[in-house]
Homo-oligomer: A and B are copies of this chain.
Amino acid sequence: MDSESGEAFPASIEAAWGLRERPHKGPKRGLTLERIVSAAVKVADEDGLDAVSMSRVGNELGSSTMALYRYLATKDELLTLMLDAAVGPPPPLPEGLGWRRGLESWATSMRAAILAHPWTVHLLMPKGPPATPNQLAWLDQFLQILQDTRLPASAKLATQLLISGHVWSHVSITAAITLDTEPGSLRRWREYEPFLRRVTGGGRLPGLRAALDEGAFGDDAGAPDDHFVFGLERALDGVEAHIRSLG
């Protein structure tokens, strides 16, 4: 009665919320969504995201490939739930931090949660509205942190967009540098600076060349974490000024 024809959100996501009533007939189910997802996470942790195939996950569970499709409609659903499980819920916030330190903590925790399973970086591109329990829990915590400010809700969401975008930027680059286990990837970063010198020769790309000459790409350039903190603080400065302007 409630929904017209089909479900708007996949059954596997409803199941992740525990909203699915038990089916009553037929044989007992031999697997659990949770077991499937954590097996897939284990595979990704051990052998990378590319190693996660339906048959590999099935084997890992002592089941067949096709058994998984009794729990998931597509592989995409599995990936969505893997991201949700790997990132996990946000750690509880210390009390009385104030919104600014709260958001700092939120962003730092999110960065850490993602980098704890570097393959999650490749799943951050949203395929639809955020709908899984942990993803929404992170969003919820962000909004709670801003609750006592005078920011309207849409500004809170826009702020979340800004901060999470920055986190994404940072983890993407970090993952590209450190996660990449392909041969030659380290060499690529080592030879990056000379490469840039080459392509900025003859007056091309003067802005980039100036940064190079200032040593911004050298070995003694700041750690990527410094870039993360810098951007985060500037963003929060801007938000703070705006909040103040609201009285």
Binding site for B on A (CB under 8 A): 3, 6, 8-9, 17, 19, 121-122, 124-129, 131, 133, 136-137, 139-147, 152-159, 161-162, 164-170, 172-173, 176, 180, 184-185, 187-192, 195-196, 198-199, 205-208, 210-211, 214-216, 221-222, 226-228, 230-239, 241-242
- A222/B154 in contact, CB under 8 A: yes
Complexed CA–CA distance, A127 and B8 (Å) = 34
Q: Which one, B125, B155, B172, B189, contacts A230 given CB within 8 A? A: B155
Chain B residues closer than 8 Å to A185, beta-carbon distance:
128
Query: Mostly helix, strand, loop or mixed at chain A's interface?
Result: helix
Can you list 14 A-B contacts with CB-CB less than 8 angstroms, sorted by A residue number? A9-B191, A19-B199, A125-B172, A128-B180, A129-B188, A131-B195, A139-B208, A140-B206, A140-B207, A154-B221, A161-B170, A162-B231, A165-B168, A233-B238
Complexed CA–CA distance, A173 and B130 (Å) = 10
- A169/B159 in contact, CB under 8 A: no
Chain B residues closer than 8 Å to A205, beta-carbon distance:
136-137, 140
- B231/A242 in contact, CB under 8 A: no
Q: Which one, B153, B236, B242, contacts A211 given CB within 8 A? A: B153
Chain B residues closer than 8 Å to A131, beta-carbon distance:
192, 195
- B173/A161 in contact, CB under 8 A: yes
Chain B residues closer than 8 Å to A141, beta-carbon distance:
207
Q: Which one, B6, B9, B161, B227, contacts A158 given CB within 8 A? A: B227
Complexed CA–CA distance, A17 and B176 (Å) = 22
Chain B residues closer than 8 Å to A190, beta-carbon distance:
8
Known interface pairs A154-B227, A237-B238. Does A8 touch B195 (Cβ–Cβ under 8 Å)?
A: yes
* Most B Cβ at <10 Å: residue of A124, A142, A187, A228: A187
Question: Considering only CB atoms, which chain B residue lies closest to A152 in the complex?
Answer: B214
